[in-house]
Structure 1
């Protein structure tokens, strides 16, 4: 991310951090008691929560924004400031937003604090972080080959989700539920989602190329 004298990117990062941390804490405060009531230990309940791609990705976004605001010159700050890392995070949170709003929006309607948390995790943070990426992340060095590296995260998540599901019977999303759908259908769903990841990743690289052309003309 290029250094800039304007305060706008810092304010946007702060807004994203506030919303993401609020939504994460609210989601845990709602879901953990419900899981404990089902007989789970506290550790099992927390482990269950981190089985969701939404939670994992929002935690990454929250940590990224917090580090960039508080300790940008630290080793972690330097890592999160890399255009490739910021682009990967933008890709992941875009998928979270699209996946929920296209596939799961009407799965379980929420109200009150649960609604606020849900919208924060699946709508506000994806939109705001995408806006941050579009406006303030340097895109000069992004290449098509980077798109393949960005797929490691969703592939790793899928493998872990299958292993967890096979040992515990818990599958975080209906389209990954082997018990109900069978392995063939789940593998097909996973393949289509991976294609979606790759197409969006390529689109982001294409945006970067367009931006480079605009800058060269200027």
Structure 2
């Protein structure tokens, strides 16, 4: 476990980097000529990647700027940071194995893409591994953490029906049909749970090691 000063510096650096990457991606979306700014903004915040990166950036920012307040302590809590780590890891893995081959970003779009899907998820994972006290997680925690992707799934369905716009090919019910899109989403929920269980297992393993070392 590294010291609080190191954690503070780490989180400050990645908070700044994360806000910069999100701003860059938003600016790139606004440069799209075929949609209005309101629709583009709604679509921007309808990507699970964006929402998860907002959580990651808040998890980095709040302990730095509000560490002495309740919201800063909440963001630093082991359960909160573990859940955000689960979401971030899933974002990176799903992008790499299900989305990476579907497009070829260039220039600043490539920079934003790498930041959102690789740099920030890895930063969150390392933050959790290095700076968060271990041993506080229960095996049931990953089921509770599914609330976020479940709410996101409901929003995606509502937004998709209303606007005929889908953020990812594997939830595009208008193309795949509701049965197949639902099957993909159910599979993703199972994957979230598995990643969450791995997070809990690592938490317990590292806690036991710290006890033995102590």
TM-score normalised by the chain length of structure 1 = 0.93
- Is 2:121 aligned against 1:139? no
1:80 corresponds in structure 2 to 75
2:168 corresponds in structure 1 to 173
The Cα of 1:18 is off from its aligned counterpart by: 2.1
- Is 2:19 aligned against 1:21? yes
1:118 corresponds in structure 2 to 113
Unaligned runs of 5+ in 2: none
The Cα of 1:103 is off from its aligned counterpart by: 0.7
The Cα of 1:6 is off from its aligned counterpart by: 4.9
CA distance 1:6–1:63, shift in 2 (3 Å): closer
Which of 28, 31, 43 matches 1:30?
28
The Cα of 1:72 is off from its aligned counterpart by: 0.8
- Is 2:156 aligned against 1:158? no
TM-score normalised by the chain length of structure 2 = 0.95
The Cα of 1:64 is off from its aligned counterpart by: 2.0
CA distance 1:157–1:6, shift in 2 (3 Å): closer
The Cα of 1:149 is off from its aligned counterpart by: 0.8
CA distance in 2, matches of 1:198, 1:15: 30
The Cα of 1:129 is off from its aligned counterpart by: 1.0
Cα contact 1:22–1:117 (8 A) shared by 2: no
1:94-133 alpha-carbon deviations (Å, 9 max, x no partner): 1111111111112111111111111000000011110111
2:98 corresponds in structure 1 to 103
RMSD (Å) for aligned C-alpha atoms? 1.4
1:70 corresponds in structure 2 to 65
The Cα of 1:179 is off from its aligned counterpart by: 0.8
1:28-82 alpha-carbon deviations (Å, 9 max, x no partner): 1111120xx2142x22211111000011111111122111111111221121011
1:197 corresponds in structure 2 to 192
1:94 corresponds in structure 2 to 89
2:5 corresponds in structure 1 to 7
Is the partner of 2:31 in helix, strand or coil? Answer: helix
